[in-house]
Structure 1
Amino acid sequence: MYNEPIFLKPVFQERIWGGDKLKSIFNYNIPNDKTGEAWVISAHENGPSQITNGPLANKTLKDAWEKHPELFNKTTGHNEAYPLLVKILDANDNLSIQVHPDDKYAQEIENEPYGKTECWYVLDAEEGAEIVFGHHANSKAQLEEMAKTGQWEQLFRRIPAKKGDFVYVPSGTIHAIGAGIVILETQQSSDITYRVYDYDRTDDEGNPRELHLDSSIEVTTVPHQVADFEQTETKQDNLMIKKLIEEQYFTVYHWNLTGLSRSTRKADFIQLSMIEGEAEIITNGKSFSIKKGDHFVIPATIDTFEINGTAELIVSHP
């Protein structure tokens, strides 16, 4: 059906902590200066990406997944949800400190198909920017006591952030990106978030923003664990491929392109996000210009493709 990439239009989400860097960095036509998220590859019902080319133009990625399984090599189990979601987040202010459940908890308690394991590639970070990653509690009882008595500074672990950093955030990990950070996030296709702490912020009507302490304590991994994973690099023509992580839910790569390279699709489908530069992608004799801020899927109907230019991409697949 498709002999070309499936190009997608971002869906923008306003957030209390959002800003305008999605416009200044990617030249996106954002709705306002509180735009916190661009859902750039999404089949989630809360913000499905619109397809901009080919036979399914103006349909959504959710439509394609549900009605055209051949594009994703989906031969059985047609009722499952699209597995991944890719976002770009602009933290003009600190995000709420939060935690996400695993699949089992999401299915049993929230009646949702997926929990949320995620990972971040830092696209931009101001001097001194920090990420909240984990906690210092040694037991659930200590976690509950510190949270319910507001010992936030003693509870949270903080690490510095700089452009090019990669952070893996399994479900059950307390986390947040701090002010001045822009990330590309690859995650399970889930919108379940339990808010642990929100800096005593209020909503537009002056009410304190809702926290979810009981659920947060229940799903948080105690003590905090840092996953051990190996990163590898391989050279393919003029393409340097760094495998950032390979785990249960996704594999994510950083591609650094400095010329022409021929690639073979090695998964049912692959997701590509242009984070720097310009290039062209050639499939079945057709050429498509791609630039920073473009996002697309190579479907199962394309086995090989060429990419030519000077660019950086984040590439992922289930």
Structure 2
Amino acid sequence: MKPLFLPPNPVQHFYRGGDRIAALRGITLATDRQPEEWLGSTVPRFGDSAVGLAVTADGTLLRDLVAADPESWVGLSRGSEASDVGILVKLLDARQRLPVHVHPDRAFASDHLNCPYGKTEAWFVLDAEPGSAFYVGWKDDVDPGELDSRRESQDSDWMLAHLNRIEARKGMGILVPSGTPHAIDGGIFVAEVQEPTDYSILLEWSITTSTREESHLDLGFERAMSAVSTSALSDAELTNLVTSAGTSAAEPRVRSVLPEAADPYFRLHQAAGGGGSTTEVEGGFAVILVTDGNGTLAFEGDAVQLNRGDALVVPHAVGPWRVEGTASVLIARPGRGWPATLGSDGVR
């Protein structure tokens, strides 16, 4: 087996954006509401059977390839969930503020959505306009009844005022535990890694093309709100969700660009060639994005050319590989110990 290139896979959404995805991936978007690209996805959008699924260069769904040979793709013999790769990777390019929203944890998803995964996620900043920010977690404990009232009145100012504001910087990594309310300013472009679901509860929908009835996972708000934390994030907890590890120039080595607390859910590393050096990368299923430069991804007996904007999936069976040349790549993998870690929520 060898790594497979992924053709562009833009997704139409309820918010504007996508021009920086188009520039990176060398494509022209059909509308100004294609602010996401799903990379290496074997799961579709919530409520849809096809949107978001990754297709390989010959037109085959990645989901079908993995299901046909999970041993080679992820190193496991699996049953009914043979297409599970343990991770979903996106490019997210917001040209308007994303609404305040929340993703459920694994316990909620298991009880109400018949799924072992929640949606803990993390962002690695590829670009950010000056002054743009993330909003993550409540500053102080919030009364559930007041939150219900502010949600129904769509009081955006109240919600944002009660969330922690984190100014965005290129190269920073932010972990967003399931249950944590959050939003993203327009002007921010991130690579997003997350558990492989599309579960979102919108506390704020009026700034998008979505509606109230599309905002609670078809569960009704009375049930859906039990997935939403109303507790404050302490200063220490907030600090542990942010890392600046990727803000310095990439070097010929592999480094993690997310907080350590992300490791049970997913991992995101940055590797770079350059200076005549070769960077060794461990084997295992991975989704790769070339963010800069060019070079080769070399593995036993073969190699593929890498250019800025390329996206690839690397099967487990490829084994260890190397980055050569000037290419800088992001490497997304399932959580450490996956899938044995399923069934637990350990962040925070």
Normalised TM-score (structure 2): 0.78
- Contact kept? 1:272, 1:315, Cα under 8 Å: yes
Matching of residue 100 in structure 1 with residue 103 in structure 2 = yes
Paired letter, 1:290: L
Q: How does 1:193-208 map to 2 (within 5 A)?
A: 193-198=200-205, 200-201=206-207, 203=209
Matching of residue 265 in structure 1 with residue 282 in structure 2 = yes
2:15 to 6, 14, 17: 17
Paired letter, 1:41: G
Instruction: Please give the secondary structure, in 2, of the residue aligned with 1:79.
Output: coil
- Contact kept? 2:176, 2:241, Cα under 8 Å: no
Q: Which runs of 5+ in 1 are unaligned?
A: none
1:177 to 184, 191, 205: 184
Instruction: Please give the secondary structure, in 2, of the residue aligned with 1:24.
Output: helix
- Contact kept? 2:100, 2:159, Cα under 8 Å: no
Q: Give the structure 2 partner of residue 138 of structure 1.
A: 141
Which protein has the bigger strand share? 1
Answer with 71-80 or 295-304: which moved more. 71-80
- Shift of residue 287, structure 1, vs aligned partner: 2.8
- Shift of residue 77, structure 1, vs aligned partner: 3.2
- Shift of residue 311, structure 1, vs aligned partner: 2.5
- Contact kept? 2:253, 2:272, Cα under 8 Å: yes
Determine the C-alpha separation between the residues in 1 that align with 2:142 and 2:114. 28
Change (3 A) 1:304 1:135: same
Q: Give the structure 1 partner of residue 25 of structure 2.
A: 26
Change (3 A) 1:273 1:24: closer
Q: Give the structure 2 partner of residue 112 of structure 1.
A: 115
Answer with 61-70 or 250-259: which moved more. 250-259
Answer with 307-316 or 239-248: which moved more. 239-248
- Contact kept? 1:269, 1:299, Cα under 8 Å: yes
Paired letter, 2:111: E
- Shift of residue 5, structure 1, vs aligned partner: 1.0
Paired letter, 1:265: E
Matching of residue 83 in structure 1 with residue 86 in structure 2 = yes
2:167 to 139, 160, 168: 160
- Shift of residue 66, structure 1, vs aligned partner: 0.9
- Contact kept? 2:8, 2:25, Cα under 8 Å: no
Determine the C-alpha separation between the residues in 1 that align with 2:147 and 2:295. 49
1:50 to 55, 58, 72: 55
Identical-pair percentage: 26
- Shift of residue 257, structure 1, vs aligned partner: 2.5
- Shift of residue 105, structure 1, vs aligned partner: 0.8
Q: Give the structure 1 partner of residue 344 of structure 2.
A: none
Change (3 A) 1:215 1:123: farther
- Shift of residue 116, structure 1, vs aligned partner: 0.3
- Shift of residue 25, structure 1, vs aligned partner: 3.6
Paired letter, 2:288: L
Determine the C-alpha separation between the residues in 2 that align with 1:168 and 1:123. 15
Q: Give the structure 2 partner of residue 217 of structure 1.
A: 225
- Contact kept? 1:40, 1:87, Cα under 8 Å: yes
Determine the C-alpha separation between the residues in 1 that align with 2:313 and 2:97. 31
- Contact kept? 2:175, 2:242, Cα under 8 Å: no
Determine the C-alpha separation between the residues in 1 that align with 2:72 and 2:143. 45
Change (3 A) 1:87 1:215: farther
Change (3 A) 1:148 1:34: closer
1:128 to 131, 154, 165: 131
Change (3 A) 1:217 1:211: same
- Shift of residue 240, structure 1, vs aligned partner: 2.5
Change (3 A) 1:136 1:148: farther
Cα distance per residue 1:257-294 (max 9 Å; x no partner): 2244152424x322221111211112233332111221
2:256 to 243, 246, 260: 243
Change (3 A) 1:172 1:283: same
Determine the C-alpha separation between the residues in 1 that align with 2:223 and 2:85. 25
